Amino acid sequence: MKPDHRQTLTIAGAGLAGALLAALLARAGWQVEVFEKRADPREVGYEGGRSINLALAERGLHALRQAGLHDAVLAQAVMMRGRMVHFADGRTALQRYGKDDSEAIWSVHRGRLNLLLLDAAQAAGAKLHFHARLDHVDFDAQRARFIDDRDGSRREHAFDMLIGADGAGSALRGAMHAVAPLGERFESLGHGYKELEIPPATDGGFRIEANALHIWPRGRYMCIALPNTERTFTVTLFLPQHAGQGAPGFDALPDATSARTLFEYDFADALANIPGFDADWSAHPVGQLATLYLDRWHLDGRAVLLGDAAHAMVPFHGQGMNCAFEDCVALARHIDDADDFAAAFAAFEAERLPNARAIQQMALENYLEMRDRVDDADYLLQRDLERLLAIRHPERFVPRYSMVSFRRVPYATALARGRVQRELLIEATRGCLRIEDVDLAAADAMAMARLEPLEELPLPGETFQSTTG
């Protein structure tokens, strides 16, 4: 029987995905209740924990457009035109992401974005409950138990269906798995991260180029920095957990003094702009990085997972949130379209799971590219040819980064076409040192023969329109 709008959709987690989904569903006329374990950040301020700022790209922007939030979010974002590479010898070079400023990504503050999304969800009619940690689910009785961690008090909630937007450590996933195994697999990257801050310059401006994502690639490890509207940068060091094979590791940096020695050697120009280095190093924890794979995301029509709860990934493509936002649009559409929740969840999983797998893989591959390849001569030559072919065959040769960040073609399509394009670039530049050495006519012929025109429309999510509003 088709779900009707009197049924309540219950969401666990009011982070980025939970709050956006609540806004989309409530705007579409559904009764929505959201339970979040933390305090209301609009009252007590945003408690960090994860990365401070995030790269927002077209997929995320598209989802925000559906919720009427695109302009409000961009008003608080800093444009990043490309990667500013800081070479080991102190040189820097900007590698543009796209053809011009219409193809850029945006640095947004996680906390402020969450506040905007919560306001939008509430304004659309969603009921938000804070200090409510999902603790136990009885799927047969369709009852969930939430705990207030301040005093341990419990509340019971009867649900029609549950949506898990409760992040990588999802309690709903655990409860579903206990009923029917989901095929869960966590793969640790073996690398962690630590955040530091570049404050504004003494004149109040940015200390380094504002409109770029800065990268200090150093082989098996790297630093990056994303700008904030306060004219600060959040610097993130990505490093193996354990030292070895000539690379340092977090285990060999027990204190700020040893970390400072690493920075003096490898990231001297960054260190010069981090006056609070010792305090930041001592105060900020080392975050862990892993990929979460599941074979199933739903329990018939009673529960479904999305965002990090379904497919946490390493952050090197800047797509975890973007992918979670794309999930939200897709799930809202399937709930509106399907005959019942089981059909909606099955269709959602069939559409999104292969694409989540694809972006998880591309995110892992991008770590190698960012830390090890962006300063490599072969890579730079292939990139030059890639840009040329993208101009000569705009409908066929779309760089993989562009397909992921500036288009909404399914991630799985971007992965598959990206492989073909990479082989073409390797073949066409073999034996060449400069772009002038490349046989362009041969490269053109390969592009024409191996790449069909990239079909843009219709795309999943393009046509999500509420049936009621």
Ligand X SMILES: Cc1cc2nc3c(=O)[nH]c(=O)nc-3n(C[C@H](O)[C@H](O)[C@H](O)COP(=O)(O)OP(=O)(O)OC[C@H]3O[C@@H](n4cnc5c(N)ncnc54)[C@H](O)[C@@H]3O)c2cc1C
Contact positions vs ligand X (CB under 6 A): 12-18, 35-38, 50-51, 54-55, 133-134, 165-167, 171, 193, 287, 307-309, 315, 318-322, 324
CB of 442 to ligand X, least distance (A): 37
Which residues make beta-bridge pairs with 140? none
Closer Cβ to ligand X, 163 or 428, answer by number: 163
CB of 106 to ligand X, least distance (A): 10
The secondary structure element, H or E, covering residue 186 is: strand 185-198
Closer Cβ to ligand X, 149 or 395, answer by number: 149
In what order do the strands lie in the sheet containing 153-158?
133-138, 143-148, 153-158
- The angle formed by the CA atoms of residues 227, 231 and 237, to the nearest 5 degrees, is 40
Q: Give the contacts of 437 (CB within 8 A, at least 6 positions apart).
A: 431
CA 442 to chain centre: 37
Residue type, 2: K
CB of 146 to ligand X, least distance (A): 7
The DSSP annotation for 249-295 comes to -GGG--SHHHHHHHHHHH-HHHHTT-TTHHHHHHHSPPEEEEEEE-S
CB of 197 to ligand X, least distance (A): 14
Closer Cβ to ligand X, 175 or 447, answer by number: 175
Strand runs labelled E in 347-410: none
CB of 316 to ligand X, least distance (A): 9
CB of 94 to ligand X, least distance (A): 19
Closer Cβ to ligand X, 360 or 429, answer by number: 360
CB of 76 to ligand X, least distance (A): 15
CB of 261 to ligand X, least distance (A): 24
Distance CA 371, CA 316 (A): 10
Alpha helices in 9-109 (DSSP H): 16-27, 41-44, 58-66, 70-74
Sign of the alpha-carbon torsion through 55, 222, 354, 349? negative
Closer Cβ to ligand X, 240 or 315, answer by number: 315
SS3 state of residue 82: strand
SS3 state of residue 118: helix
Alpha helices in 156-203 (DSSP H): 171-179
CB of 171 to ligand X, least distance (A): 3
CB of 158 to ligand X, least distance (A): 17
Distance CA 243, CA 451 (A): 43
Closer Cβ to ligand X, 64 or 443, answer by number: 64
CB of 162 to ligand X, least distance (A): 11
The secondary structure element, H or E, covering residue 325 is: helix 320-337
Question: Which residue's CB comes closest to ligand X?
Answer: 15
The secondary structure element, H or E, covering residue 400 is: helix 400-405
92: alpha, beta or left? (left if phi > 0; alpha if psi -120 to 50) = beta
SS3 state of residue 429: helix
Closer Cβ to ligand X, 37 or 371, answer by number: 37
Distance CA 407, CA 188 (A): 29
Closer Cβ to ligand X, 53 or 382, answer by number: 53
Closer Cβ to ligand X, 134 or 223, answer by number: 134
Q: The tokens of 253 are what? A: 């940096």
Question: In this structure, are strands 143-148 and 153-158 parallel, antiparallel, or unpaired?
Answer: antiparallel
Closer Cβ to ligand X, 120 or 134, answer by number: 134
Closer Cβ to ligand X, 315 or 461, answer by number: 315
